[in-house]
Amino acid sequence: MKKQTKRTIQLVSGAVATALLARAAYRQNHQLDISSFVYHNEKLPGSFHGFRILQVSDLHNARFGFHQKKLMKEIQLASPDIILISGDLIDKRRCRKNNIQPALRFVKEAVKIAPVYYVPGNHEATSEIYPYLKERLLAYGVEVLGNSMVELSRNEEAITLIGVKDPKFYIHEPQRFQHNLQTLKQMSDNQFHILLSHRPEYFDFYAACGFDICFCGHAHGGQIRLPKIGGLYAPNQGIFPKYTNGRYVKGDTTMFVSRGLGNSKAPLRIHNHPQLVLVRLCKA
């Protein structure tokens, strides 16, 4: 074989291998998973039997199709009664007004499907553009739960949804996050409580407060997931993090942790597809 021919074959083989790797990487970061759970609790008011909650977390300005069409199609197929956004819609490294359009487009379309409730994450806490983002969310009809609560009503029965800002908002007052959470929980007169919070590593505290369900994100699924091991690293949990994906139970409290949709510092996910979480409530 001539040297020139051999060189050409090597170049073509390298190009094909590169293309295959790029395709695999794209699929790892853009193939949407929907994880569905059924949650049972005898405390749940009967009117909320079958109530469907869709959780969206850690978008980080990621795009899923033109004008988020791929993402919106999956959400519409899930037929949620409400949509919960557990923080980090934007990314602090890419947050000028002209490059948060993927996040705004998602929200603009989501409110057409179901009522949307949102809490800010650590990236909103450290972004100068958060006041503008909040203004746009409110204009679209999103309920921004920054240390506040709302009653969800059905047939004269109600449950309480409580949302808290990320602890990063209180970097100089580290105890304020827990204080706000306790105060809000004590203010509610309802029997059943849902918490929307960005951070899963506070699960013990959420359980101590007596929440029935918690929805969290932040961990990005551990970024790289290995069989039988799970995620390798999560912010604020470190190596081999405890809470990265799925359902966790402590006492009477259940926490659902979403792997999220986008990326931040780490640009690639491995064995860790972007995820939506769908939870159907059932009266036990």
Residue 6's domain spans which residues?
1-30
pLDDT at 26: 55
Domain count, the chain: 2
Q: What is the CATH number of the domain that holds 167?
A: 3.60.21.10
pLDDT at 20: 39
The pLDDT profile of the chain, 284 residues, written as one tens digit per residue, is 566 665 655 555 444 444 434 454 555 566 999 999 999 999 999 999 999 999 999 999 999 999 999 999 999 999 999 999 999 999 988 777 777 999 999 999 999 999 999 999 999 999 999 999 999 999 999 999 999 999 999 999 999 999 999 999 998 898 999 999 999 999 998 999 999 999 999 999 999 999 999 999 999 999 999 998 999 999 999 999 999 999 999 999 999 999 999 998 777 889 999 999 999 999 98
DSSP 257-275: E---S--SSS---BS---E
Judgement on whether residues 63 and 17 belong to the same structural domain of the protein = no
Judgement on whether residues 10 and 114 belong to the same structural domain of the protein = no
pLDDT at 12: 52
Judgement on whether residues 68 and 17 belong to the same structural domain of the protein = no
pLDDT at 284: 81
Range list of β-strands (E), 9-81: 33-41, 52-56
Please say whether the beta carbons of 220 and 259 come within 8 A.
yes
Judgement on whether residues 12 and 93 belong to the same structural domain of the protein = no
Judgement on whether residues 151 and 179 belong to the same structural domain of the protein = yes
Judgement on whether residues 155 and 16 belong to the same structural domain of the protein = no
Judgement on whether residues 76 and 114 belong to the same structural domain of the protein = yes
Handedness of CA 63, 65, 66, 72 (dihedral sign): negative
List the one residue out of 255, 282, 271, 208 whose CA is nearest residue 57: 255
Judgement on whether residues 74 and 148 belong to the same structural domain of the protein = yes
Judgement on whether residues 118 and 20 belong to the same structural domain of the protein = no
The 10 Å Cβ neighbour count of residue 42 is 7
Judgement on whether residues 11 and 41 belong to the same structural domain of the protein = no
pLDDT at 7: 62
Question: 182 Cβ partners below 8 Å, 6+ apart?
Answer: 209
Judgement on whether residues 60 and 78 belong to the same structural domain of the protein = yes
pLDDT at 46: 97
Judgement on whether residues 210 and 262 belong to the same structural domain of the protein = yes
